[in-house]
Chains A and B, each alone.
Chain A
Amino acid sequence: MLKIKNLHVSIGETKILKGLDLDINSGEIHAIMGPNGSGKSTLANVIAGKPDYIVDEGSILFNDIPILDLTPDERANLGIFLAFQYPVELPGIPMKQFIKTALDSKLKSQNIKETSIREFNEMLKVESENIGINTKLIKRSVNEGFSGGEKKRNEMLQMALLKPQLSVLDETDSGLDIDALKTVGKSVNKLSTKENATLIVTHYQRLLNYITPTKVHVLIDGQISKSGGPELASDLENKGYDWVKSLK
């Protein structure tokens, strides 16, 4: 589904990713772990198409379509979703309008008729309950005045409603309490099917207590230094990133 080849990325003069390769197939959950500054968030953002990053070399194919020249919305409508590390507050834009516009954009790109307001409200109600988002938040502006945990739950709500083929979770576990962490784990597990895939970007192993990844990769200094099964995550937890660096 996702094929990244020899990806080199920089911001300004600084090189961040230095030849990264990654293959993710349908039905898989991958975790990218790494110390601060290793390029984890850059990878997540480059997949989603954030401007500011310069791709110097390499390619990203999503279902065999080269996506590096596509805008973020075009990528989203192909089925890529980024759960933000720091979800953005959008004062004055009501939650419902935001989510419905997103959903309708996706349907429009597939030439499907948009959902009726009634259908939408029903879907929103069901998913909000699943994820444990207070209905009062749904009446507010997007993320405005939400707590850290509420913002992350809101990301999960959007993910559940947009049903992406590839979900990229950028440090979704940072700053979360145990309950919120469980919700995130539950959401990811619930959404995982044979048809879609998840890429979890994280510093810590703790989210992986709730989600069992197919593969774990360690990102150090812009390259994947080591890949393995779920056991690699607990090794890292015990031995630290210096252990991987020493293997290099």
Chain B
Amino acid sequence: MNKINHDIENHFNNFNRVKYLKKTNTVDKVNTLRKSATDSFKNRGFNSEIANKEKWKFSNIKPIAREKFHILSNSQEFVPNSLDEKIIFHKSNSNRLIFVDGQINDKYSDISLLTEKSLVTTFTNSNLFDKEVINKQLGKLINHENDIFSTINSALLNDGLLINIKKNITLNTPISIIFINTNQNENAATFPRILVVCEENSEASIVEGHISYATQSSLDIPVIEIDMNKNSNLNHYKYMLGNNSGFNISNTVVSLEENSDYNSFSFSTGSKIARNSVDINLIGKYSNCNLNGLYITKDKNHIDNHLNINHKNTHTKSNIFYKGILKDSSRAVFSGRVLVERNAQKTEATQSDKNLLLSPNVRINTKPSLEIYADDVQCAHGATASYFTDEAMFYLQSRGIDQKTAEKLLIEGFAQEIFEQIPSKLVKNFFSEILINTSIQY
């Protein structure tokens, strides 16, 4: 058993500190963030995180603490497979940036997003105005003392992306950012970082994809910070397609000002350990969030959805609606915590997690919880886990439909309820396609 490292350079070795971390980033905040995060890692290491039993009750992060990972500095030539092609060339992803093993792929990305359309900018190439935004916002929503993984992301931050939706702008086509991990040889680690700022009265959609083909142990630690100003509206679609070798520990942190709307849809197939952590802060009154998710796991995959919503003001609304389909010996964890602060009167909060179990060897730990300190609120929560009903199966079979096809119909039907929450027809269609191409293979 390897000793647990406290020195981040030792833990994530093989990267050339001179090459990228010692080089001062053109954005001041990146440098200060790296430094404070590196110090924070030194002080706490993985031990304090592992000791947080409540936070990691059902997901074992010790293997991540023990293994050594290598930061990728250059990527092989990328040859998309048929699934990649379906994803890359889908109409909903026409505004796309593709990152392969941590590097932007010019061939398959629409580089005009960075240049003439200037919807997205890398931190390194940002202009003075954007730098000001990054300096002001980057890391603002993250507390390094609370989470070792966002600390690692900050400490090893090479470059990130800024998506700044300007005041009064409505974007009709989603911005797609796709991270593909193809590395087969090393314990490859990537640390994607995205900062999203939605200015007043703006409206946009982001599709965030993570695909891993790594056959060796790999580690992805994405962090996305979303700052939503008054009356802004964001649809955030996210998919994590993993396999049984990778660790994917993702953090999404959202802060909502008055009357802003955050709608998210997350789809994941699980990986060796996949964690989808979402932290929502409803700061302004009448702010609203909708978190929808679907997880479909097979083999020995593991997915842990960890959702935290803080109602900090009056008339705020939150809705969590997740569904899971579990096959083989896979495992899923759902933890939804809604906190209603004392002054957050007239809060409305609902959460529900429903699971369809396809094998007696699967395991689901589901724990919706409510902490309410205000008295005038409407809250509800619930969780279910069940097999197909024999009645439904018999009904389908009695119509001449064989068992496999009947199962497929029932699974798709179960998933459909979540897809119906996706407002964009194009994106709905995109997710239906990935669903068919990834999980339900008979």
With the chains together, A7 CA to B375 CA distance in Å?
64
With the chains together, A75 CA to B409 CA distance in Å?
20
Chain A residues whose C-beta falls within 8 Å of the C-beta of B412 in the assembled complex: 92-93
For A, the interface residue count at a CB cutoff of 8 angstroms equals: 30
Interface string of B405-421 (1 = CB under 8 A from A): 11001101111110000
Shortest beta-carbon distance from B322 to chain A in Å: 15
| B417 touching A92, Cβ below 8 Å | yes
| A52 touching B390, Cβ below 8 Å | yes
Chain A residues whose C-beta falls within 8 Å of the C-beta of B410 in the assembled complex: 90, 93
A38 is an interface residue with CB less than 8 A from chain B: no
| A98 touching B399, Cβ below 8 Å | yes
B395 is an interface residue with CB less than 8 A from chain A: yes
With the chains together, A82 CA to B397 CA distance in Å?
11
A51 is an interface residue with CB less than 8 A from chain B: yes
Chain B residues whose C-beta falls within 8 Å of the C-beta of A39 in the assembled complex: none
With the chains together, A176 CA to B412 CA distance in Å?
32
A121 is an interface residue with CB less than 8 A from chain B: no
With the chains together, A141 CA to B413 CA distance in Å?
9
How many contacting A-B pairs (Cβ < 8 A)? Answer: 83
For B, the interface residue count at a CB cutoff of 8 angstroms equals: 24
Shortest beta-carbon distance from A113 to chain B in Å: 16
Chain B residues whose C-beta falls within 8 Å of the C-beta of A106 in the assembled complex: 400
Shortest beta-carbon distance from B104 to chain A in Å: 39
Chain A residues whose C-beta falls within 8 Å of the C-beta of B406 in the assembled complex: 73
| B390 touching A102, Cβ below 8 Å | no
Q: Which of B374-429 contact A (CB under 8 A)?
A: 389-392, 394-403, 405-406, 409-410, 412-417
With the chains together, A88 CA to B395 CA distance in Å?
7
With the chains together, A62 CA to B414 CA distance in Å?
35
Given A92-B416, A93-B409, A101-B409, CB of A76 within 8 Å of CB of B392? no
Shortest beta-carbon distance from A170 to chain B in Å: 11
Chain A residues whose C-beta falls within 8 Å of the C-beta of B398 in the assembled complex: 48-50, 72-73, 75-76, 81-82, 84
| B400 touching A90, Cβ below 8 Å | no
| A51 touching B392, Cβ below 8 Å | no
| A87 touching B395, Cβ below 8 Å | yes
**Whose C-beta in chain B lies nearest to the C-beta of A84?**
B395
Shortest beta-carbon distance from B352 to chain A in Å: 14
With the chains together, A98 CA to B398 CA distance in Å?
12
With the chains together, A91 CA to B388 CA distance in Å?
12
With the chains together, A91 CA to B391 CA distance in Å?
13
| B395 touching A76, Cβ below 8 Å | no
**Whose C-beta in chain B lies nearest to the C-beta of A73?**
B397
A198 is an interface residue with CB less than 8 A from chain B: no
> Which of B390, B391, B394, B410 gathers most chain A CB within 10 Å?
B394
Interface string of A46-85 (1 = CB under 8 A from B): 0011111000000000000000000111011100011010
| A90 touching B413, Cβ below 8 Å | yes
Chain B residues whose C-beta falls within 8 Å of the C-beta of A77 in the assembled complex: 400
Given A51-B390, A88-B392, A105-B402, CB of A71 within 8 Å of CB of B413? no
Given A73-B400, A73-B403, A105-B400, CB of A98 within 8 Å of CB of B394? no
10 new A-B contacts, CB < 8 A, other than A48-B394, A141-B413, are A51-B394, A73-B403, A75-B398, A81-B398, A87-B395, A90-B413, A93-B413, A101-B399, A101-B409, A102-B401
8 A-B residue pairs with CB within 8 Å: A48-B394, A49-B397, A73-B402, A82-B398, A87-B395, A90-B409, A92-B413, A102-B399
